[in-house]
Structure formats: C-alpha cells, structure tokens
Structure 1
Amino acid sequence: MVAPARNTEPPLIELCDIRRSYGGADGAPAVEVLRGLSLKIHAGEFVALVGASGSGKSTLMHILGCLDRPSSGRYLFAGRDIARFTADELAWLRRAAFGFVFQGYHLIRTIDALHNVEVPAVYAGITQAKRESRAELLLSRLGLGDRLAHRPHQLSGGQQQRVSIARALMNGGHIILADEPTGALDSRSGAEVMALLRELAQAGHTVILITHDRDVASQAQRIVEIRDGQIIADTPSDPSAEPQSRTQAANELLSARNFPALMARGVAHAATPVADMLEAVRAAWEVMWVNRFRTMLTLLGIVIGVASVIVMLAIGAGTQETVIAKLATFGVNRMYVIPGGDNERGPGGTLSEADVDIVASVPNVTVAMPFVQGKVTLRAGSVDTSAPLWAVTTDAPKVLSWKPSRGVFFTKEDERNLATVVLLGKRVSERLFGAKNPLGQYVLVNNVPFQVIGELEEKGATSGESDDDDVIMVPFSTGSRRVLGTTNLSWISVLVDNLDIVNETARLITTPLAQAHHIQDFKVYNRAASVKAQEDTQQTLTMMLGLIAAISLVVGGIGVMNIMLMTVKERTREIGIRMATGARERDILRQFLTEAILVSLVGGVAGVVIGLCLGAALIFWDVAIIFSVRAILGAFACALATGLIFGFMPARQAARLDPVVALASE
C-alpha cells in the first residue's frame, strides 16, 4: 500500500484498524466484512474508494457517515473518537458535516423536490422561510428551478440524483459521501453528476466517492482500492494535485476550539417545540393526503367509534329524561308522611296541621302540604255518582305536578274563606256533564253545593287499583271542615329539592316528628328514593350503551395501530433517509406519533359531525335525544387518546430502526 504525501495538517477523518462483522448470533458464524482497515482523509480531498461488489466499500461508507459503528477499532473525526458520541451527537454530525448521495437516490416519494432538499434543514432547526429559500436556490443552481413541485416519480434519474446532491448540500455538505452516484444513470447524466462532484471538490468540499468503475474513480484526486475488506492500494490519481482549501464554514465546524460548542448547540436543536410540531403536522398531513384512500379506511373505525359514543349516550340521556318526565307526572321528588307506626299492634297515630309546619322546617323540604281524603257523593242535575275527595292547599299543582286543563285552581283567599269551589277530575266530569263544559256549573258534594271552577288534566291510572282522574279537589279548609268534618290528615305530601339526599331528609323529618308525638306513630314513605334508584338504573344503562359504543372506538384504535405498523414497514427506507440526513430518534418518534394522532384527530372531528347529524335525524324522527357536551368532548378526547396510545408502539418501533438496515430495505 502506498500512502499519499504532502498533507501535513491533522486528518479530518482517521480510521485505525477498523473491523466490522455481521452475524454470529444463535450459533451462526460471524462474517467479517472489514478486516483491520486504516485510512486518513484530509479536509478538501476528493477521494475515490474503489472495489468490486462485496469488497466492503459500502460498509466503509456507512461507518464513515456515522450510519454504522465498527465492531472494533477507532474512528476519529476531527481528532475525536466517535465511539464516545451519543446517538443525538451522531445525528448532529450527520446533518452538520455530511451529505449523502446514494446510487438509488433515496428521495422521499411522498414529497416534492423542494421539500426533499429541505429535509436536513428541518432537523437542523432552520426556519421554514430560510430553508425554502436555500433549497430553491440550490435546485436552481443545479438546473431544476422548474421542477420544484415535482415528486420523485415525475423526475428522470439524472434529475433525481441532482435533487439528492442538492439535499447533501442543504446544511453545507462539508463532506459529500457519494455511493455509486452514477451507477443507475446513463452516460450523459453520469457525466453531469461527476462534473458536479468535481465542482464541489474545487469549492473546498471533501468528497468521498464510492465506486466500482475505475474510469469514474480516475476523476478523483486520490484512489483508495479495497479488496476483501482491506486497503490494497492508496495512490493519488494526479500526483501534482493538491487538496483544495476548505470553506470558512468547514473551518468553523472542524476546528478543535469550535467543535464542542457547535456540537452542544446542534444537539440542543435550534427549532422551537411549536415549530417542530408544526413541521411534524405538515409532514403527517402530506402522507395522509398521498395515501388518502388508506387514510379514509383507517379513519372509518375512529369515526364510527366517536359517532356511536355520542349517539348512544344521547339516546340514553333522552330516554332517561323521558322516563323521569313521565314519572314527574306522579311526583318523582315526593315523600309522604303517613299515620301509623311500623308495629301493627301499636297505636294508630294521627297527623295534624301542626305536624305540617314541623315537616316544612326540615332542610331540603320545598313544600309540605296537608292532605285529607274521603269518599263523597256527587250530584249534578239528575246524575248521581261517588268519587274520592282530596282536600288540598294551593300548593297542590306544584306538589302533585297536576294543573287544570281548563279553568283555574283555587286561591289562598278561597282557603281562608272556606269557599265551596271544586275542580273535577276528567272522568268525574264526563260522568256528571258528559262532553259539556262543566265550568261555572254547580255540583252537590254530600248535599253541599260547590261551583266547578276547573277541570283537571287527564293523568291516567297511577296503579292497577286507583285512577287519579276519578277524583275531585277542594280547598283544604273547606273539605276538612265543611265536607269531611275532620282535621286529622290522611297524609302529608312532601316535595323535596335534592334527590341525592332524600334518605337524609327522611331521617330529619322523622326525628322532630317523633319528638313532638313522643312516639313514632307515623311512617315516612320515601317515594323519591325509589325514583332516584330508577334514575340511577337508567344512568347505568346509559353508561352501558356508551361502553358498548366505546368498543368500536377501541377497535378503531387497533386499526390505527395496524395501519401504522404497516406504514412503518412500507416507509422503512424513508426512515433511513431521514436518519441519514440528521433525524434523531425523537424526531422520528414525533413524526409517526403525530401521524397517528392526526388520523385520530380528523376521525374524531368527523365522528363528532356525523354523530350530531345522526342525532339531528333521530330528533326529526321523534326519537328522544339529549346531546351532552361532556359526552361529545369525552368521545373526542378518547379518539385523541386512542391515536396516542395505539400509535406509540409503531412510532417507537420506527424510531429504533437501525439506519443502515432501514436504508437497505426495499
């Protein structure tokens, strides 16, 4: 081996006894590709690494470009051992010092030429305006000013290779690593690419050319021949040529004084988190748009899940409201204090108007109404009938949730004056007056004439044994004193405010009444508690509907994970390209995680819109629907969480790919 002469400055790259082996796991024999290779490359040199296929030159290029690590030996870059570099520091070195030109171009197929060139600058944290301006300038200098918006499949091989060169120069390209850059090109395009590489070398770039073609290698200043993983020759192609002086930017990057500070700033990354996120969203949207049919299928699971949760919960809430509204006609928030203790052989007990005041003073009691009931005989003209009489106060419409369908209810003045006025239930009115309007007519109640001032709403039977429409209502004072002749109450109707504390309210009613009676000769019938139990049951059923609907959301999330895993497999080479241009693990993780979340975000929005539309259609068809903002926001949040949770594993898998393996994938 003949060593090159004349360059006395410290080498830019120094390899000392580099070895690289593959395999050796699970009992398989290890294959040694590089065998104790040593090499020095100075800044500004144009070096060609020549060798037949399988000689190890591509493996050497991967090690030189920090895409791979040697099995043993030392790699010194600007005098620093890269074995001590972290993964982020190696990523910075790739984007700050190296520019790769591959035989297969390795352009990202989903983005246009301009954005392909921008990729290294994205990971360097350069602002969008600056990187677009520089990328456009580079492409224009390479004769592609009219191809900025063209995707790789719309460009010829030579044009794609020039895009690759522009990308290599985006962050400076102080060291150009060109792996068989003319191998896939015709002779004319190959000559153009080689001319570009010579120009770069003359401009002060360090160019390392990997080729099997000696005619191509002869255009370099120095030829290093490799065979079976070892250097067998290292000679200058032109003994009179001197390496070009490197650029000022290269001097700053490679100087011993500036290197640590530049690396620290580069690893810290210059872009803001917001800029990083916006760039990830833009890239994710482009991928979704290019693969829009597959994206729509992926969205479908999320859309169905979100829409189902919204509609199911809305139907459940509407049904619950309907049930409660029907129960309200029978007083869902009522309690009753009834004479008589729990012991059948004990005293019967009575309730008085004084007890009403005690009950009314209890917290959570909105109204306490005395109630006296008796059977009376009614006569109107020649028609006689009998019906229950309810002697109640003016609070009856509120306590009983029962109002006149026509006419008016009696007033407090009627109560004070023991007025002989009556409201007829629907069936009583029909028996006495038929279809005739009873308002203003007189009815004998136990031979006492009463004027009809109202007809009660038709309510229907509350149970199999009673019919609330077959009653009459009179003022409490009139009914108890002038008709029934007793002030002993049949019961006290209690209207409570908060159903959640009805049991506590019942206890608070019992205690002072028992103290006043000196015995518990009454019972508190807690109907509100049973209604509350019915309400809780309905809420449970609604929740079950929501959980059933949520299953489809989980299925949609599994679909997202499956599609993302397929996407990682399909885009493995793209991941390798991004890593070769300086992407860190967290950059890859953020990009693929953003894609999963964006799919879920779009699916969530579409699901909310479709869910609301379905709900509106159901309302049009008279289905009880009550939309809940909490349910809508919850379904949307679950969609995002689904994307985050189910997208994390594929994103992490993508971030942990080996750059060399990723680049070699098909």
Structure 2
Amino acid sequence: MALIELRDIRKRYPAGEQDVEVLHGIDLDIEAGEFIAIMGSSGSGKSTLMHILGCLDQPSDGEYRFAGRPITEMDHEQLAWLRREMFGFVFQSYHLIGTASAWENVALPAIYAGMPRDERKTRAQRLLDELGLGERLENRPNQLSGGQQQRVSIARALMNGGQVILADEPTGALDSVSGEAVMEQLRGLARRGHTVIVITHDAKVAEHADRVVELHDGRILDDRRRRPHHGDKVRAVAEPPKRSGLPDAGEIGEAVLMALRSLRANWLRTLLTLLGIVIGVGAVVVMLAIGQGAKQDVVARISDRGTNLLVIRPDRGQQRVADGVIATLVPDDAKALETLPNVRTAVPEISGSVTARANGQDVSTSVQAVTPAFTSLRDWQPVQGIFFGEQDQNAYAPVAVIGQTVKDTLFPDGDPLGQFLMLDSIPFQVIGVMGAQGATDWGDDQDDVVFVPLSTGTLRLFGQNYLRSITLAVDDVSRIDATEQAAVDLLIQRHGQRDVRVFNMASLLDMVSATQNTLTMLLGSIAAISLLVGGIGVMNIMLVSVAERVHEIGIRMATGARQRNILQQFLTESVVVSALGGIIGVAAGVLVGLLLGGFGMAIVFSVPVMVASFFCAAVIGLLFGFAPALKAARLNPVEALSND
C-alpha cells in the first residue's frame, strides 16, 4: 500500500456559466520515504495538485487515500488533524506570521496539537539550532534573510513530526547558494525517512529528487525514477478524531496570548476600539451612580420627615373659613385619633403667615401652632433653650421657639433666649431655637418659622379652632395601611362624611423610590446605548482585522488549525479588547463619579453595577465578535494563503 494514492483526481473551478477543469484524471502513487519532485510550467496544475495532496483543498472528482483512508470522506476537523499531524508545508513565500518571533512561528503547529508551551519552545529551539538559527530565536521574519526565513519554514514543517513534507517552489525566492542549501536540507529529511514532495518548475531543482513527475495542462506527462526507492513501510497513522471536543485551558490561554500580541501589534486600532467600550461602560457606571445618589438623597430627605407618619389634611372640596383654613379638623379629632391601636401620638397643627418684629426689625415669617409632641415626629430638636411643654400648652402661654433663619434676621448679634418678639403685635417670649434644617425639596426655607403652643395660636393668633393638619406617628410601619384605614373610618364616624385626605409617608417613600428606580434605569439605558455602539465598533474593527489577516488565517489553517481554533482566536481577541475596555471603563467611571462628587453631586457607586458592566462589555465582545470570527473560520485555506 502506498502512503498516498490518487485515482482519477479532477479539479474544476467555476468560471461563469461553465466550470474550468484544471486537473484531468490524475493517477499517482507516492511511497513512504520517497523524495519526489512534481514539475511543470506555470498553469500546469502543479500548485492545485499540491493543495489537494496537503488537504488544503479537495478534488471535484476522484479518490484520494492517505495511508489507506479516503480523504474525501473526512470532515473539516479530520482534515485539520491530517495537516497538523502528518503534513508539513514549506512555501515559496515562506508564509510566516510577521508579528511572531522565529521560534513562535516554528512552534505554531504544536499549539494546535496541544503541546505545552515550555515543551514546544524547547523543541522549536532544537529544530532551529539544527538548521543553524540558534541565535535567531527571537527575531521576527522582517529581521531574517530569505534563506533564514525558509529554514524557519522548514523547522515549522518538522514541528509535529512532518511525516510528509510539501515544499512549494522552496527555492523560488532565494539566490542560488541559499537555494542549494535548502534543497540539501530537504534531501537530508528524505534520507531520515520523511516523504518529501517538491513542487517546482525548475528542472535543476527537480534533479535533487529521486523521482520526477512532470505535469502538463493538468495531466501527468511523464513519471520517471532517477534513483531506486527502497520501499519504506507506511508508518502507522493514528485514527483521526471524529469530532471536536471542548477547548481545554491550554488552548484558551494560548488564544489569549495570541490575542494580546495581535492587539499590541495594532495598538492604535486597539486604542480606538477600546475607546467605544470605555465610554459605554464608564457612562453606565456614572449614570447609575448618579441615579442611585439622587435616589438616596431624596429618600433620605423623606426619611428625615419620618416614614412612619400619616398626615391627615382637610379635603379641599369642603367649605372654607377665614384665613384659608377648611372647617373640618379640630383638636378633639387629634385626641380621638390618638386612641387608635398602633398610633403613638397625634399632633394637630395650625399654620399661617405673620409679621414678626424684634430689635427694630420686621420680617414676614410662618407660624406653626402645634402641641409639645411635635418634636417626637421628626429628628428636629432645639439647639438652644427648650421646646414648650404641656404646662405651656394648658396655660395658653405666650412663648415661642424660633427657627435659625428668624434668629439670624431678628437677633443677629445676641442671644434670643428670654427676649420678646412681636407676632402680629402680640408679644411672645423666645424660649428656644431649633436646629438648622435647610430648604425643602421644593425650595422652601424650613428654618423660616416660629413655633407656638396650639392653644395660644388658636386663641391669640388665628382666632379659630380648625386645623391645617393632624400628623399621626405609628409604632409598626408594617401595619401603617391598616392604621390609615382605621383613622379614616374614625373621622367619617365623627364627621358624618369623608372630608379628609391622608398622605401615607411610607407609601410616598415607596412611590418615590420606584420613580427614582425608573429614572435610574432610564439613565442606565441611555448609557447602555453607547455601550452597544461600542460593541458595533468592535464588530467593525474585527471585520477589518479579519480582512487584513486573511493570509495569517491561511497560514494557521495550513499548520493544522481547526475551524474552531480560528473561531476561538478571533472571539478571544474580541472578548479581550472588550474586557480591557470594560476594566478601563469602570475605572474611568469611578474617577468621573468622584470628580462629580467633589462638586457636591450625590454619587453612590454600586459594586454589582461595576461587575455587571464589566461582564456586559465582555459579553458584547463575544456577541459582536462572533460574526467576524465565524467569517474567519469559514475561509478556504487555499484562497486565504493566496491573499497577500
């Protein structure tokens, strides 16, 4: 049995309406260990025959058997296995990867064979040493002469054993001295038991071979043996794999290293690709941090007012009375509400605007007539003096507790405690000053206020007994809805109709939180659009990368790369660049957020958001890189190699 058996091999290429046949029924047997030259002029079909022999292409008709196995029945995975394990290619144009060093080019087939990195580096160094390139291990192809590059190509062909060496015009780009040296090396390989097939148009090159097969117009014109062949036995050939398994950790690690090398070689393009992802991820991090900060700020303001409160106000549909107060709620309603279960306290309130005068200064301010329990509703206590008590309430005492704004306006230079101020010409003695609260969410100054006892306010300031509101503080917030309903039922029973509205602060907090969440998601969605745009940029750049590296893809396929290896490599490049962009984007987002925080904007970073943004960037790289990677994996090896 011959190592290689060709029977009636034909090859046709589409050319318009009719196919052009390049090979016309080739019958050829090549024994193991033969040194054979296939010679022919340009257009004779010798390169097409070499591509078929090396499993880079398949015949249109006929049968090709390698070690007794029909090649035409093998799938892409098995053909890649043959190229990787059985064949070694030496090309006229060397076909070396420009971004890789000499030893990395030699070790390329071993990557796809699964050889560990240290082991393949050692073997590559040994092969280069044997070919006289031991001092050129780290040199890239552009730092080597033509003869040196061809020797690197020979070493690569031997990396995985190279049972069959296919040399396509191996001396075509060399001077006579270098060409003679290369042919002597091929001759030496034949003497060591390798099957060497040289494709050439030069009769002098063919003279080195033991057997010369001459092609003309796609047919074998002559087949002559110049030296006898001793008939080496066909070496045992392992069974090619039936299907591709999952990539192991070594494959993934190598794919990452190759991706980093490629990205470094095109650093400007990589930088521009990163920019889109960085902007997208950074925008998501910053926008969501701003949204969370705004939510936290609003929630904190509402919480300061108390989330366990029910504020009961008269319904505006009821009959109005003097000074804009609706004749609905009275102080006795507050006392009745205080008896309900889960109600800790009920604070009635009347408020209005008055003119306050002290130390020759007049100011228009707000007066709130409340009971002493007012300070238990909120975290708002006097910072000077005291708040009035039950004794002041029962005695209708003319005492007042003022806010910081009133203090600063009417008593800018002294201690207001014990002094008197006039409220609409009625004297009140200042017994306390409340702590500063600042502005409300709608811009009102909370500190521009004067508190007086409810009894004193109704009698001496407002002249009426109808309340502006009653605020209930509940003990158990989880039962606040039931307490609200009980309060409404009690007031309906007392008034004979429903004439109040209830504002549930816990429900308000939930509503505001939900609204802020929606706004935050809106901000995040807007930012995510830029991340998607960055993903489209990744896809465009990867398509350009595939188009620019078609030749490299052909080299990898010729050295045994499976379709999945090519797919995996370009997917890895896409994921790596997106992941790098994600890391930089998260860092940039944090930096921008800190800068905004320095200007007083509420910023709340979320670690889960950062992690999710990073993984989203990586997933986008995976999704948007799949189409270019698939395009690369489906390239025809012959067409890819011919693309320079």
TM range, smaller chain: 0.7 to 0.9
Q: Distance in 2 between matches of 1:210 and 1:431?
A: 103
Match of 1:664 in 2: 642
1:157 aligns to 2:146 (yes or no) = yes
Say which SS state the counterpart of residue 9 (structure 2) adopts.
strand
Equivalent in 3, 19, 34 of residue 23 of structure 2 = 34
Equivalent in 636, 643, 653 of residue 614 of structure 2 = 636
Q: Distance in 1 between matches of 2:196 and 2:439?
A: 96
Q: 1:160 to 1:473 in 2, by over 3 A?
A: farther
Within 5 Å, give how 1:189-200 maps onto structure 2. Answer: 189-200=178-189
Contact 2:491 2:498 in 1 (8 A): no
Q: Between 412-421 and 55-64, report the one with greater CA deviation.
A: 412-421
Match of 1:352 in 2: 334
Q: 1:480 to 1:462 in 2, by over 3 A?
A: farther
User: 1:260-289: per-residue Cα shift (whole Å, max 9, x none)?
Assistant: 3xx239x656x9621111100000001111
Q: Note the C-alpha offset of 1:592.
A: 0.3
Q: Note the C-alpha offset of 1:302.
A: 1.4
TM-score normalised by structure 1 residue count: 0.84
Identity of aligned residues (%): 46
Q: Distance in 1 between matches of 2:203 and 2:355?
A: 125
What residue ranges of structure 2 are gaps of 5+ in the alignment? 321-325
Within 5 Å, give how 1:299-378 maps onto structure 2. Answer: 299-322=274-297, 334-338=309-313, 348=328, 351-358=333-340, 360-361=342-343, 368-373=345-350
Q: 1:54 to 1:496 in 2, by over 3 A?
A: farther
1:22 aligns to 2:13 (yes or no) = yes
Q: Distance in 2 between matches of 1:316 and 1:127?
A: 49
Match of 1:616 in 2: 594
Contact 1:391 1:478 in 2 (8 A): no
1:115 aligns to 2:104 (yes or no) = yes
Q: Note the C-alpha offset of 1:543.
A: 3.4
User: 1:503-560: per-residue Cα shift (whole Å, max 9, x none)?
Assistant: x945651246416853554523326456655554454444333333333222222221
Contact 2:402 2:430 in 1 (8 A): no
Match of 1:525 in 2: 502
Q: 1:449 to 1:297 in 2, by over 3 A?
A: closer
Contact 1:506 1:524 in 2 (8 A): no
Contact 2:407 2:433 in 1 (8 A): no
Match of 1:571 in 2: 549
Q: Distance in 2 between matches of 1:32 and 1:381?
A: 113
Contact 1:331 1:399 in 2 (8 A): yes
1:227 aligns to 2:202 (yes or no) = no
Contact 2:106 2:156 in 1 (8 A): yes
1:242 aligns to 2:227 (yes or no) = no
Q: 1:199 to 1:347 in 2, by over 3 A?
A: same
Q: 1:90 to 1:464 in 2, by over 3 A?
A: closer
1:457 aligns to 2:436 (yes or no) = yes
1:103 aligns to 2:103 (yes or no) = no
Q: 1:567 to 1:153 in 2, by over 3 A?
A: same
Within 5 Å, give how 1:47-446 maps onto structure 2. Answer: 47-238=36-227, 240-243=228-231, 245=232, 251-253=235-237, 259-260=238-239, 263-264=240-241, 273-322=248-297, 334-338=309-313, 348=328, 351-358=333-340, 360-361=342-343, 368-373=345-350, 388-394=367-373, 396-397=374-375, 399-400=377-378, 402-409=380-387, 422-426=400-404, 429=407, 433=411, 435-441=413-419
The amino acid of 1:626's aligned partner reads V
User: 1:322-380: per-residue Cα shift (whole Å, max 9, x none)?
Assistant: 5555666766875412356967699946513241342635xxxxx65322437899998
The amino acid of 1:242's aligned partner reads H
User: 1:579-604: per-residue Cα shift (whole Å, max 9, x none)?
Assistant: 11111111100000000111111111
Say which SS state the counterpart of residue 485 (structure 2) adopts.
helix
TM-score normalised by structure 2 residue count: 0.86
The amino acid of 1:53's aligned partner reads S
1:554 aligns to 2:532 (yes or no) = yes
Say which SS state the counterpart of residue 586 (structure 2) adopts.
helix
Q: Distance in 2 between matches of 1:84 and 1:195?
A: 36
Q: Distance in 1 between matches of 2:336 and 2:297?
A: 37
Match of 1:7 in 2: none
Q: Note the C-alpha offset of 1:652.
A: 0.4
Contact 1:423 1:453 in 2 (8 A): yes
Q: Distance in 1 between matches of 2:355 and 2:269?
A: 79
What residue ranges of structure 1 are gaps of 5+ in the alignment? 1-9, 254-258, 362-366
Q: 1:378 to 1:180 in 2, by over 3 A?
A: closer
Q: Distance in 1 between matches of 2:408 and 2:555?
A: 89
Contact 1:608 1:636 in 2 (8 A): yes
Q: Distance in 1 between matches of 2:435 and 2:616?
A: 50
Q: Note the C-alpha offset of 1:610.
A: 1.9
Q: Distance in 1 between matches of 2:169 and 2:418?
A: 109
Equivalent in 574, 588, 594 of residue 566 of structure 2 = 588
The amino acid of 2:288's aligned partner reads L
Say which SS state the counterpart of residue 224 (structure 1) adopts.
strand
Q: 1:162 to 1:428 in 2, by over 3 A?
A: closer
Contact 1:443 1:452 in 2 (8 A): no
How many residue pairs get matched? 631
Match of 2:323 in 1: none
Q: 1:75 to 1:241 in 2, by over 3 A?
A: closer
The amino acid of 2:278's aligned partner reads V
Say which SS state the counterpart of residue 150 (structure 1) adopts.
coil
Q: 1:16 to 1:491 in 2, by over 3 A?
A: same
Equivalent in 478, 488, 491 of residue 469 of structure 2 = 491
Contact 1:46 1:208 in 2 (8 A): yes
User: 1:6-35: per-residue Cα shift (whole Å, max 9, x none)?
Assistant: xxxx111101100000015xx432110100
Match of 1:597 in 2: 575
Q: 1:464 to 1:117 in 2, by over 3 A?
A: closer
Q: Distance in 2 between matches of 1:467 and 1:621?
A: 24
Equivalent in 602, 625, 630 of residue 652 of structure 1 = 630
Contact 2:337 2:487 in 1 (8 A): no
